[in-house]
Structure formats: structure tokens, C-alpha cells
Amino acid sequence: MKGYANAIIFGIAIIVSSIYLGNAYVNRNNTDGEIRITGLGKADFTSDLIVWEGRFVVENIDLKQAYLNLENDKVLIKKYLIAKGVPEEKLVFSAVNTNQKSKRLYSQNGDYMGEEFSGYILSQSIQIESKDVLKIEKISREVTELLNQGIQFYSESPRYYYTKLADLKIEMISKATQDARLRAEKISEFSGGNLGELKSAKMGVFQITGQNSKEEYSWGGTFNTSSKEKTASITMKLVYKVK
């Protein structure tokens, strides 16, 4: 009896499935459908603009002497960079940052007794923006030579940019759109339909990552500045009518 009931249930399931598939076939042949497809555009490129920053620091108990020492270091840094081939107009110095230095005082028993003024710390930053990427990149690695002149200089990692980003973005959109169109044509061909007019197109987020890096895409877009060699990508979501 149980086997008979199972057979009835199985038979009903087959009939229901047949009706559903039959309706789907009829609907496909009597109403226009649509294809939603995403295309990808990618391109590798080399940065053509570099921004490099460094900072130099002096310490002295006397504020006036500290300023004199800082100014002397500034002159030596300018001389060094110009000798390396950097035009003087490319050297941008920030305002001087002044901080007081103090040391903690403790009693013989180790109790904290307050702080005592011990001098001034003055610092100043320099920035270079240039299209001569290789030259500035080399300088950023060699600038520690200033330590041999008694200058406390701290070099930051260069940042890399691309000045033709607007043109590259247009190129990527074109590639992504073409990729989506080809995919849609293949899908409609295999499904036995004809690709109709474009109903809508939506651009995805523009992403720039370092080549061969493990950077992940983000919802707001990734904009890599630490790598000279980069990869740009963008997606286009298209919706086509299918007849």
C-alpha cells in the first residue's frame, strides 16, 4: 500500500513538472525575454608620475639654534637633490613644525615626579612631484646618503600615478561593453533566440591594483598608489532584449 501511494505521488510530480515546463516554453515563444550580462575591461599600464616625500629633523635645547641647524640642513638637502638632477622648482618645502621635548622625572624610590623641559624638536618636509619616474625613484633609495652629512632624514615610499587616467577609463568602458555584447550574442545564439536592442547599461566601479599583487577589489573602488606597474579594470552590466 505504501509503495502504491509513493507511485501516485511520483506520478503527480511528473505531471506538475510537465505542465510547468510546457508553460515556460510557451512563454518563451510568445513574449520577448531579456539577457543580463556583465562584461569586463582590463589593461596593464605603467605609472608616468611619481610623488616622493621626505622629512628632516633637528633637536636642540635652544630654539634659535635649532632653527639655524634646520635651515643649514635644508640648504644641504637642496644642494644634494639639485646635484642629482632635480630642478630647484620641483623642490617643495613645507612649513617648519616645532615641538617641545621633555623627559620624565622619578624619585630614588621610583615615584613619578613630573616632567622637565629638555629642548626643541623641529622638523620640515620636502615633496617632489615629477614625470621622471626612474630618476626620483632612484633618489628615494639613495637619499640615506644624507646621513653621512649628519642630517636626520626620513624617506617615505614613493607614490605612483597616471596622468592619462581619464582616457584609460574610456578605453576600459569600451572594452567592457564590447566584452558584454559578445557574451550576450553567444548566449542568444545558443538559446536559439535573436539578440535585440540594448535596454540598459550600468557601469561598475573602476579599480586600479598593483600588477601581480594580492590586492582585492572593494565596493568603493581600489586605487593603488604604491606600485609603479598597475592594472586597471572596470565592469559594464548590460541588459538586452531577446526575440
Query: What are the pLDDT digits (tens) for 148-194?
Result: 999 999 999 999 999 999 999 999 999 999 999 999 998 888 877 78
- The confidence score (pLDDT) of residue 32 equals 59
Give me the mean pLDDT over the 24-43 stretch. 67
- The confidence score (pLDDT) of residue 129 equals 97
Nearest to 103 by CA among 95, 93, 112, 90: 112
> Residue 122 above 50 pLDDT?
yes
> Residue 37 above 80 pLDDT?
yes
Average pLDDT in the chain: 85
Fold entry, domain 32-46+163-242: Translation Initiation Factor IF3 (3.30.110)
Nearest to 234 by CA among 149, 175, 190, 154: 175
Nearest to 39 by CA among 169, 177, 207, 172: 177
Give CA–CA dist 12/119, Å, rounded.
92
Rg (alpha carbons) of the chain, rounded to whole number: 33
CB–CB of 128/91 below 8 Å? yes
User: Domain 49-160 is classified in which CATH homologous superfamily?
Assistant: Protein of unknown function (DUF541), domain 2 (3.30.70.2970)
Give CA–CA dist 97/125, Å, rounded.
9
- The confidence score (pLDDT) of residue 181 equals 92
Give me the mean pLDDT over the 128-150 stretch. 95
Give CA–CA dist 139/118, Å, rounded.
35
Q: Select the more confidently predicted residue: 4 or 34.
A: 34
Give CA–CA dist 208/185, Å, rounded.
29
Burial of 228 (0-12, 13-18, 19+ CB in 10 A): middle
